[in-house]
Structure 1
Amino acid sequence: MIVPESLLSCFCGAELQHQPENHHCGNNLKYTLINEKPGLEPVPSTAATPRLHPACPYLDGNDNKNDDDDELTRRADRILTVLLTAPRPADPSEADLTSGAAAAAGLRAQDWTSYLAERVLHALERKLGDVLAEHSSADRSGWGGALADAYDYAVELIKRELRELWEYAKAHPYETAATVLLTLVSLGVLARLLPLIVRALGFGELGPIEGSFAAWWQRLYGGYVPKGSLWSFLQRMGMTWK
């Protein structure tokens, strides 16, 4: 199975993967934490010291890093389970699974942080990687209707609007373009099923929020996705900024 930690070494032949738990919670902080309430545009921290996620209290002298990291992983896993098993909604406008995911993971509004959002994004990438790469062992039989529909729509939209990237990535599965493609599909699925996570990642209505995962990602892979096309893609997937 392809996993994000080894995507660029195994799937794309490079070692460039962003690792939020190391960058956020260590001395080499690369971007600031974004917190937001449901339905609001995320705003980067303006404090001298970035706001701390509850999962990283050891930055304040607490050494319970492993326990907190495990709890964050458990929450991300519960959210992923909701994504994997949710049935196809009777009304497409009811595809947003945020409330169900929050209940399953025991989350409050303030818990939807960039740390958790990145964990969910990378967990989803691991699930979609083999299917997108069309490995012979890839299996969608365990997917619920909501995920299957969102995945199919994201793939078809990329084929239409980012055809050059799609064709190049499929022809060169061990280059960086393949990682970009996998992240795009995963973001598309999240834009339809868990839009709050996309906002927590820093994908704002007018572009990437400064200091966010979105800003980092666009700087690193911007050459593969034409300016503005990512936001058009997210909007077509059903992403809204209220």
Structure 2
Amino acid sequence: MLACITGRQGRQDEGYTELIYDDKTASLYSDNDSYPQHDAMSYYQGHGYGTTTVASPLLFDSSPPFKGEGVDTRSVEDIAREVARLLWRAEWNDDGLQCRISDAVGERRWNRKMVEECLDNVIEYVEQGRARMGAAMCAALDKATDVADDEFAFPRRHPQSLDGFIAIVSAGILAELQGAWVLELLGFGEVRGKEEIGYGTGEIAMLTSDKIVYCDQPRPNSFAAWWTREYDAYIPTGSVYNYLERMDMVELED
């Protein structure tokens, strides 16, 4: 199945990733409120699961971001593109990579939109194949592809579902290289043990190594909800949980 893919054309300190609430993500960490839909809920090249479609990113743009008078003027899309490129070219998934990602994110905070934009870029890189991909992403691709090929009924038997296969493999790659916490922002579950940094600030700290508590029903309007709905016919019962558990990203119940 890997041949099928390759043929297709926060800030982190001491092990923590900082996330921030805003008016689009305020309900994200509450099971009592519906998952909010932000104004750039999108998927690549017209496969929209929300209201806006984002054009394909400029994958090889290595120009430095513009900053004026010490203020970071980059868009979320710019930062996500830079982070994804670091993941794409990395030879090792180590502290050095995480430091480079931390520098790329700068004073900004990871939020739902940034993770989604980063996933869009990872999908583009996976579609390009392995020719210029670094060893770290190659290893994550091998792992995610092997597990996904075992768990899902596509695309071996359903070639028309290849885009969905690439999407879930790419989500696994992003979580493998960044931490399972990204799966919460993609709507698959929730990380336990989050703590607010300073009362009333809205900033949340979570361990990057923490696993998620899987949700049987993905959060409404999330990437997970879109993917599950779009490819429901090809997803065997329990296969999403099995995929994430075998990727070592699900917190097992006692």
Scaled to the shorter chain, the TM-score interval is: 0.5 to 0.7
Instruction: Find the aligned partners of 1:161 and 1:216 in 2 and give their Cα distance.
Output: 19
What secondary structure sits across from 1:168 in the alignment? coil
Residue 168 of structure 1 corresponds to: 157
Query: Alignment length, in residue pairs?
Result: 174
Indicate the larger mover: 231-240 or 183-192. Answer: 231-240
The structure-2 alpha-carbon separation of the partners of 1:42 and 1:95, relative to structure 1 and needing over 3 Å to count, comes to farther
The structure-2 alpha-carbon separation of the partners of 1:190 and 1:235, relative to structure 1 and needing over 3 Å to count, comes to farther
Q: What TM-score, normalized by structure 2, do the two folds share?
A: 0.57
Deviation at 1:182, TM superposition (A): 0.9
Are positions 1:158 and 2:148 aligned together? yes
Q: Percent identity of the aligned residues?
A: 27
Deviation at 1:73, TM superposition (A): 1.2
Q: How does 1:168-187 map to 2 (within 5 A)?
A: 168-169=157-158, 172=159, 175=160, 177-187=161-171
Deviation at 1:233, TM superposition (A): 0.8
What secondary structure sits across from 1:189 in the alignment? helix
Q: What TM-score, normalized by structure 1, do the two folds share?
A: 0.59
Are positions 1:78 and 2:82 aligned together? yes
The CA RMSD measured in Å over matched residues stands at: 3.7
What secondary structure sits across from 1:88 in the alignment? coil
Are positions 1:238 and 2:227 aligned together? no
Counterpart pick for 1:121 among 119, 122, 146: 119
Contact 2:187 2:224 in 1 (8 A): yes
Residue 186 of structure 2 corresponds to: 201
Q: CA offsets per residue over residues 114-153 of structure 1, 9 Å max, x none? A: 211111111111111142xxxxxxxx24222210100011
The gaps in structure 2 that reach 5 residues or longer are 1-7, 9-22, 40-71, 190-212
The gaps in structure 1 that reach 5 residues or longer are 1-10, 12-31, 54-67, 132-139
Deviation at 1:86, TM superposition (A): 2.0
Kindly indicate which of the two structures has a greater share of residues assigned to strand.
2
The runs of 4+ residues in structure 1 deviating greater than 6 Å are: none
Query: Which amino acid counterpart does residue 144 of structure 1 have in structure 2?
Result: G
